[in-house]
Amino acid sequence: MLQDIERILITEEELRAKVKEAALAIGKRYRESNPVVVGILKGSIIFYSDFIRHLDIPVTLDFMAVSSYGGGSVSSGKLRMKKDLDTDVRGRDVVIVEDIIDSGFTLANLKQLLGERGAKSVCIVTLLNKKGRRAYEIAPDYNCFDIENEFVVGYGLDYNEKYRNLPYLGVLKREIYEK
Ligand code: IMP
Ligand code: MG
């Protein structure tokens, strides 16, 4: 795996510090409301598990799996629901935990869907934000790191289901996804 990584973008230490900071901020905001914390599978799993361990408030954990990428490095423009929530979000505060906002397509759609289901509020927490790539109007309520338009893997993020288990975030060599 390592020979496919051009360089480390965000180290384990940097991730640990920022993720804790994010969780403490969100915890303060939802102290009284028992929010539903929704992890978007699979990319958010490592971020999610680190994040919730620093949330010192009661929460309901749940997950959704959607895909907008066929498998490559370019969004296909179609959102497919692969696993829905178990929880009824009507009247609940919802905190969506996502790995990365790229075009904004995934989160724009999810935010609308949860609104339609009667969520009291929807807050978006993302680990990474590729601002320069936005095609849909959506902004995170909490973003850990702004990044450039490079394809990154590790800490849950994949390319063709590979590299998710790297403990840091690395930039994938272009030749891997352009061949
Ligand atoms: P969006 O719908 O275009 O905002 O895309 C969001 C999804 O695209 C994320 O949840 C990721 O699964 C995937 N994605 C976007 N950029 C990257 C990247 O640099 N590395 C890995 N996955 C990415
Ligand atoms: Mg992905």
Residue of 93, 99, 102, 158 marked catalytic: 102
Cβ of residue 75 lying under 6 Å from some atom of ligand 1:
yes
- pLDDT reading at 75 higher than 90: no
Closest listed ligand to the CA of 75: 1
Q: What is the pLDDT of residue 69?
A: 58
C-alpha span between 144 and 151 (Å, rounded): 17
Q: In 3-state terms, the chain is what percent helix, strand and coil (to 5)? A: 25, 35, 35
102 a catalytic residue: yes
- Distance (angstroms) between ligand 1 centre and the Cα of 125 equals 14
Which of 21, 27, 14, 20 is closest to 123 using CA atoms? 27
User: What's the pLDDT at 161?
Assistant: 96
* pLDDT tens digits for range 16-72: 999 999 999 999 999 999 999 999 999 999 999 999 999 999 999 999 999 875 545
State in Å: Cα 9 to ligand 1 middle. Answer: 16
* Residue 76 reports pLDDT greater than 60: no
Mind giving me the DSSP string for 75-101? EEEEEEEEE--SS--BT-EEEEEEEEE
pLDDT value of position 153: 98
Q: Say what percent of the chain tops pLDDT 70.
A: 94
Which pLDDT value is given to residue 110? 95
Per-residue pLDDT of 88-147, as tens digits, reads 999 999 999 999 999 999 999 999 999 999 999 999 999 999 999 888 999 999 999 999
pLDDT band for 150, please (50, 70, 90 cuts): very high
Residue 102 in contact with ligand 1 by CB distance below 6 A = yes
Cα 52 to ligand 1 centroid, rounded to whole Å:
21
